[in-house]
Amino acid sequence: MDLIGWVIFLFALLFSVMLHETGHFVMAKKFGMKVTRYFVGFGPTLWSIRRGETEYGVKGLPFGGFVKIVGMTSLDDVDEPADEPRSFRSKPAWQRIIVLCAGSFMHFVLALVLLFILLAGVGVQSPSNASRLGAIIPCVPASSTAFADGTCTAADKPSPAKAAGLQAGDQVTTFGGKPVSTWTQLGNAISRARPGSPTTITVVRAGRTMTLHLTPAAVKGRSGGFLGIEANEVYSTVGPVRAVQTAGSTFWQILAGSAEAVKAVPSALPGLFSKNRANTAAGQVSSVVGLANSTGQEVASNVGWQSKVSFVLLLMAELNIFFGAFNLLPLLPMDGGHVAAIVWERIRAWFARRRGRPDPGLVDMTKLLPVSFSLFAVVILFSVLVVLADIVNPVNIAG
């Protein structure tokens, strides 16, 4: 099941990337630009087919995709002079900006669709007061902060519930020999339990009554006993109009959260390899490896299908919003950097007209290459560090 979760995440991520490239492709075709290649992946070509002037294909490394538009910048050579009028750089500025922004636009549309499906199809999660168990927390959190964040590290001990063999869906009937029928009663009984003192819990599972033995644990900074159980969640769908409204507001909340996450990156670096990473800003930073691992854990966890689907849909919506916004930053080599270059071209052209001078033309990309390469190197270096941290010092973000 962990492997299935990995496959689901990687497929969804690849689909998002190709949807981004499709945005560029469709708008470039719309404006009459010559698109010569549309490929999934990078590296050696595994398969391709030509339709008209465009070659479609699959590369050996499924880590993204690309669209090749003739004459993207002043550095690109146009093989046939007759193609120059159809090159990207020959088109009006507004058309070029639309083509560049189309990728992020597709990310945003996909995120809104996923949020709509989550709200109208899967439902909104809310706790039930029944004494039926929901998710089983796999560890004893190192502190109350880790408990609130729902994070586990490799150093944390298994939770009493996990050690005793409790499962999601178990209906608790007694705790410590006393009957319970609601989650409130069960929660009060657990909070009164003394950490370290063995006790019993009786559950009904698939029509069979079972009595299990466990020892409540203590969590630093939190009073009472700790078992590692969560309330069973119920899911209620909302109507289409409400789903659209809520999806829109959730979109902006996620966008604001993404901005805060980027601002917190410098403070996260020192904690990537620390033992208490989960309790630092580094615990909120994850790579593709970490997110895929968390998706695998969620899919493999003993929870209902709605919880698993909700996790995947929300995670992919958040990633698409983040990727879409990050790609629009006015920094090369992102699309936003190319948009900024086009805007600067038009500003220069306006000043030239005001002074009676000729249009200075395209931005000289050779002057911007050092900046582009430097930023690209920083992004790659940070990505590698986070990947390594997620391998040797992982943080579980699954619910």
Say if CB 368 and CB 276 are below 8 A apart: no
Q: Return phi, psi of residue 199, to 5°.
A: -150, -175
Specify the pLDDT at position 319. 94
Residues marked active site are found at 21
> Domain limits of the chain?
133-235
Pick from 274, 284, 278: which is nearest to 143 by CA?
Answer: 278
Query: What DSSP character marks residue 84?
Result: G
Specify the pLDDT at position 286. 85
- 3-class secondary structure, 22: helix
Specify the pLDDT at position 302. 64
Specify the pLDDT at position 339. 95
Which residues of the chain fall below pLDDT 50? 399
CA angle 327, 329, 334 (to 5 degrees): 50
Specify the pLDDT at position 133. 87
pTM for the whole structure: 0.77
Query: CA 229: distance to chain centroid?
Result: 26
Specify the pLDDT at position 156. 85
- 3-class secondary structure, 280: coil
Query: CA 138: distance to chain centroid?
Result: 22
The runs of H, that is alpha helices, within the chain are: 2-30, 93-117, 144-149, 160-164, 183-192, 240-263, 265-268, 288-300, 305-327, 335-354, 365-392
Block residue for tokens 């410590």? 176
- Cα separation, 218 vs 224, in Å, equals 7
- Cα separation, 332 vs 33, in Å, equals 22
Sign of CA dihedral 259, 105, 17, 245: positive
Superfamily for 133-235?
PDZ domain (2.30.42.10)
How many CB atoms sit inside 10 A of residue 317's CB? 25
Sign of CA dihedral 116, 117, 118, 124: positive
CA distances from 254 to 63, 85, 207, 324, 365 (A): 25, 41, 42, 12, 34
Orientation of helix 93-117 relative to helix 335-354, angle to 10°: 150
Specify the pLDDT at position 314. 93
